[in-house]
């Protein structure tokens, strides 16, 4: 079985990237989609089983990078990895076995350390309680039991490691929404999948590592950049797929909370003041139709 692998670079931590590459134990092409246009193989020891291809791409976000990788891949199955992930030694054996068992799926994913709650997976397919019942009522979604041990159908998996069947997604126009620069792009992609009945499966007995920090930037400026996009993308996603009036009420509550905290932290903590001011700005920017800012 042949699988192309896609990673998206934006000022990445090369130590974490090295660990990720070392954990890939098959002969394959690795497509590194370079959004910061500064990526080189200097300081990296490329495993002999990997053929690295660097593709320069306009930075429209991680989802756009994955789209670019899928478009440039030569295999039906494409494995997306966050740069700060590490695969277990038996990853590809279990994935190949799972592909043979399952049919007509959109995504297969392993468990990620400390990410999943087994009760939530069993009852609600890993969705929050509110989203699950909203989707059940308005979209008539439901979970199906599989006949295979350790394989569960879910509605949501960690976006850090995803095996994507592009025949059942990309070629059916299920793609990542490139209006979203950061955050919620996988939620939106998964939502398209379950609305078109393209199943998402979680493999319970396959656990990978994700350290949640592929970018080497701990500055307040970057933290504010992330918070702005968290709020903008959150309301973009919710307004695209859920009742707009209901979401507006949620937004008004958040606006009041952020405004109050902005005032309080102006006098108590300048860093938190900047963060809550940025969150408020991101939320309001969505409703005032301000486009995402790419640079920070």
Q: In this predicted structure, what is the pLDDT of residue 209?
A: 93
Q: In this predicted structure, what is the pLDDT of residue 213?
A: 62
Q: In this predicted structure, what is the pLDDT of residue 121?
A: 76
Low-confidence ranges of the chain (pLDDT < 70): 139-142, 212-217, 292-296
Apex CA 245: angle with CA 244 and CA 251, to 5°? 85
Q: Is the full-model pTM beyond 0.85? A: yes
**C-alpha distances out from residue 87 to 10, 110, 111, 172, Å:** 21, 9, 11, 29
Judged on CB neighbours under 10 Å (0-12, 13-18, 19+), 26 is: middle
Q: In this predicted structure, what is the pLDDT of residue 99?
A: 94
122 touches 152 (CB < 8 A): yes
Q: In this predicted structure, what is the pLDDT of residue 292?
A: 65
Q: What does the alpha-carbon distance between residue 88 and residue 276 come to, in Å, rounded to a whole number? A: 38
Q: What does the alpha-carbon distance between residue 6 and residue 187 come to, in Å, rounded to a whole number? A: 19
pLDDT tens by residue, 93-129:
999 999 999 978 999 999 988 777 777 777 777 777 7
pLDDT tens by residue, 189-232:
999 998 888 999 999 999 999 986 656 667 899 899 999 999 99
């Amino acid at each position: 079985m042949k699988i192309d692998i896609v990673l998206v670079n934006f000022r990445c931590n090369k130590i974490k990237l090295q660990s990720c590459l070392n954990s890939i134990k098959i002969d394959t092409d690795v497509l590194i989609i370079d959004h910061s246009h500064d990526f080189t193989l200097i300081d990296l020891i490329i495993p002999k089983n990997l053929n690295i291809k660097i593709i320069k791409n306009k930075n429209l976000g991680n989802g756009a990078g994955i789209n670019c990788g899928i478009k440039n891949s030569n295999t039906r199955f494409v494995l997306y990895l966050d740069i700060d992930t590490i695969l277990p030694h038996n990853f590809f054996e279990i994935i190949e076995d799972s592909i043979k068992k399952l049919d007509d799926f959109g995504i297969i994913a392993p468990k990620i350390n400390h990410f999943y709650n087994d009760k939530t997976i069993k009852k609600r397919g890993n969705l929050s309680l509110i989203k699950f019942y909203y989707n059940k009522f308005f979209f008539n979604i439901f979970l199906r039991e599989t006949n295979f041990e350790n394989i569960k159908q879910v509605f949501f998996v960690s976006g850090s490691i995803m095996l994507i069947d592009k025949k059942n997604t990309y070629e059916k126009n299920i793609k990542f929404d490139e209006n979203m620069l950061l955050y919620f792009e996988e939620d939106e992609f998964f939502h398209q999948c379950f609305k078109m009945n393209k199943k998402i499966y979680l493999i319970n007995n396959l656990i990978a590592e994700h350290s949640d920090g592929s970018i080497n930037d701990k500055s307040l400026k970057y933290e504010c950049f992330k918070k702005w996009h968290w709020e903008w993308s959150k309301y973009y996603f919710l307004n695209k797929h859920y009742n707009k009036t209901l979401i507006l009420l949620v937004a008004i509550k958040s606006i009041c909370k952020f405004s109050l905290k902005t005032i309080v932290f102006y006098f108590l903590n300048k860093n938190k003041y900047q963060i809550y001011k940025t969150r408020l700005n991101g939320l309001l920017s969505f409703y005032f139709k301000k486009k995402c800012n790419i640079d920070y």
